[in-house]
Structure 1
Amino acid sequence: MKILQCKAYGPPESLVLEEVAPAPVGRGEVRVRLHAAGVNFPDVLIIQGKYQFKPEMPFAPGGEAAGEITEVGDRVTGYKVGDKVIVMTGWGAFAEEIVVGADRLAPLPPGMSYEEGAAFLMTYATSHHALKQRARLQPGETLLVLGAAGGVGLAAVELGKAMGARVIAAASTPEKLALAKEHGADEGINYAAESLRDRLRELAPNGVDVVYDPVGGELSEQALRSIAWKGRFLVVGFAAGPIPSIPLNLALLKGCEIVGVFWGAFTVREPDLHRENVAELIELFQAGKIRPLVSKTYPLAEGGRAIRDMMERRVTGKVVVTM
């Protein structure tokens, strides 16, 4: 089978397409022929050795995928050959097939394409966990989403609306803001052309209840200064690059919470709650309240270019590698 390998830490251009022997299927495992793999910000970090997990070399990036089960190992229940599934891999999804534990699978919902399935769980489940468990977002509250046209940002916009919040989208171009509004945002702020803090004073004079921040950089402190009393600031990621140094006196003055969101660890530490979240997301998809936006697909051989385009923020929604 073909696999796009990371053989030494480096940029996306250093990934190598190779032919390798398929792995055997062990007890409790299944083999999945992959049709599509999602591209996410952790892929940028893991190939540079900067992620929380450092797989043994060589390895393929790709933390999520969708495909069809072609082989089932002993002691696997609930799945059979031919089932269409979403696979949460952590890494390894930039390949034609993968062997994983059955506990890493979810059924591909009816009506969802392989490309949508590969763009679904990591972004929507991250945003859902952030807004539901970490921020305790309530109907009628105001949610500010930074990087609102990216994968997790757009998911947060849709989920915020589904949860009854007023959503303010912040992005770097008018086109990105228009996309966020198409997906449910009530207001938009172009932080490349206007002051985020000044505009928030107009849109939310009493502050925003929840800040969803997958961007980091200089925007984080501006957003925290605009948070309401007892607000919740969600630390989701650092797509801008720099990890901000936040003056902690702001948390004191605002009586607010600065809350970390590490969805991968959550799925391991609280698997039952994670499964409940996934079931709720599937219900929202089937009700038409959320829908993954796949803006572009790349063949497996161009997986490095897909990561590069995401790194340089040239994409909206999600991009997907197809096999």
Structure 2
Amino acid sequence: MAYAIRYARAGGPEVIDYVEVPDREPGPGEVAIDVAGVGVNFIETYQRSGTYKVDYPFVPGGEGAGVISAVGPEVTTFAVGDRVAWAGIPGSYASRLVGPADKLLAVPRGLSDEQAAAVPLQGLTAHYLATSTYPIQAGDTVLVHAGAGGVGLLLTQIAKIKGARVITTVSTEEKAELSREAGADEVIVGYTGFADRARELTDGEGLPVVYDSVGRDTFDASLSAVRRRGHLVLFGASSGPVPPVDPQRLNDAGSVFLTRPKLADYTVTRSELLERSTELFAWIGDGRLSVRIGGTYPLAEAARAQSDLTARKTTGKLVLLP
């Protein structure tokens, strides 16, 4: 038997169960994986609270790493014993997982199980944000909110690889130091005054892009920090969802582009997924990109990991260990 975390209903910590689940053999195009680590992400807290609607009971999670234990028919790219990682396979809060082989990434040598579990969703997110949603150019000044979070630390480093000057916002002095270690040129503690500072650093012009994962508490100021025809990239809502936006506000701000992207739309094909992951793993392999594990928790303590995440007590990436 395997074990999994299950949401019984929406509402709070008491709705999480740690339960036995029956094993399932992989079908055509699928593999079975002994899970070694599971990435914790804000989307699971939105599902638990009921902000994102799911059908209960529900096994959360979509990211992790492990070792293939069985291969179904028609699978030719992976074999039993291969170390793999993934983003986008539902039900990953489990000790054993069956999922499609075409979602898997081969884990390079040198990456620990925890690192492999931490990289796929947030690493690929940081990659598409910096290379596709707004392709950062050398000399750009960009702003990254939550600069000491999992995506924030990775996005800061990738922006520096691209030759940008990086401003970040963080909530504490401790997190500010982590953000500076990741390469941030200017770190603002707290989420007030960053728009004025961004204007100062760009001679009043504003920024070509603001990457905002905070949402409700930062949206208005983020919009005012963006330059004419700049980009406001809203890719999360840790402080709560942004209220409906009148498109006229984008006109008034200077014909600003507003986008709410998600990873699935930037990894539509297998080739696109592999192109992004190959570059991401190469940066990690040559030392230009560092993955920070902010904490590990037993799978059975998923509720505590989520509570620490939503309370902004953490830095980097949180990983559950089955």
- Alignment partners' CA distance in 1, 2:259 and 2:56: 33
Residues 123-161 of structure 1, C-alpha deviations (whole Å, 9 max, x = no match): 111121122111121111111001111111222111111
Q: Identical aligned pairs, as a percentage?
A: 35
- Alignment partners' CA distance in 1, 2:272 and 2:112: 26
Change (3 A) 1:6 1:218: closer
For normalisation by structure 2, the TM-score amounts to 0.94
Report the alpha carbon displacement of residue 4 of structure 1 after superposing the two structures with TM: 1.2
CA contact (8 A) 1:170 1:189 kept: yes
Change (3 A) 1:14 1:281: same
2:196 is equivalent to residue 198 of structure 1: yes
- Alignment partners' CA distance in 2, 1:322 and 1:87: 15
- 180-189 or 271-280: bigger deviation: 271-280
The 5 A counterparts of 1:1-323 are 1-51=2-52, 54=54, 56-192=55-191, 195-205=193-203, 206-246=205-245, 248-252=247-251, 253-267=253-267, 269-323=268-322
Which ranges in structure 1 are unaligned for 5 or more consecutive residues? none
- Alignment partners' CA distance in 2, 1:198 and 1:244: 23
- Alignment partners' CA distance in 2, 1:94 and 1:204: 44
CA contact (8 A) 2:89 2:103 kept: no
CA contact (8 A) 2:199 2:207 kept: no
Report the alpha carbon displacement of residue 63 of structure 1 after superposing the two structures with TM: 1.4
Residues 16-65 of structure 1, C-alpha deviations (whole Å, 9 max, x = no match): 1111211121111101000110100111112234337x3x4333212101
Counterpart of 2:49 in 1: which secondary structure? coil
Paired residues, number? 319
- Alignment partners' CA distance in 2, 1:299 and 1:19: 15
Report the alpha carbon displacement of residue 244 of structure 1 after superposing the two structures with TM: 4.1
Which ranges in structure 2 are unaligned for 5 or more consecutive residues? none
CA contact (8 A) 1:5 1:15 kept: yes
CA contact (8 A) 1:64 1:90 kept: yes
- What is the identity, as a one-letter code, of the residue corresponding to 1:185? A
- What is the identity, as a one-letter code, of the residue corresponding to 1:39? V
- 83-92 or 172-181: bigger deviation: 83-92
Change (3 A) 1:129 1:12: farther
Change (3 A) 1:159 1:259: same
Report the alpha carbon displacement of residue 246 of structure 1 after superposing the two structures with TM: 4.3
For normalisation by structure 1, the TM-score amounts to 0.93
Report the alpha carbon displacement of residue 248 of structure 1 after superposing the two structures with TM: 3.7
Report the alpha carbon displacement of residue 272 of structure 1 after superposing the two structures with TM: 2.7
Counterpart of 1:254 in 2: which secondary structure? coil
Report the alpha carbon displacement of residue 304 of structure 1 after superposing the two structures with TM: 1.0
- Alignment partners' CA distance in 1, 2:25 and 2:168: 46
Counterpart of 1:310 in 2: which secondary structure? helix
- Alignment partners' CA distance in 1, 2:134 and 2:10: 35
Counterpart of 2:73 in 1: which secondary structure? coil
- Alignment partners' CA distance in 1, 2:14 and 2:62: 18
Q: Give every structure 1 segment of 4 or more consecutive aligned residues whose post-TM-superposition deviation is greater than 3 Å.
A: 244-250
- Alignment partners' CA distance in 1, 2:197 and 2:244: 23
CA contact (8 A) 1:215 1:238 kept: yes
- 248-257 or 310-319: bigger deviation: 248-257
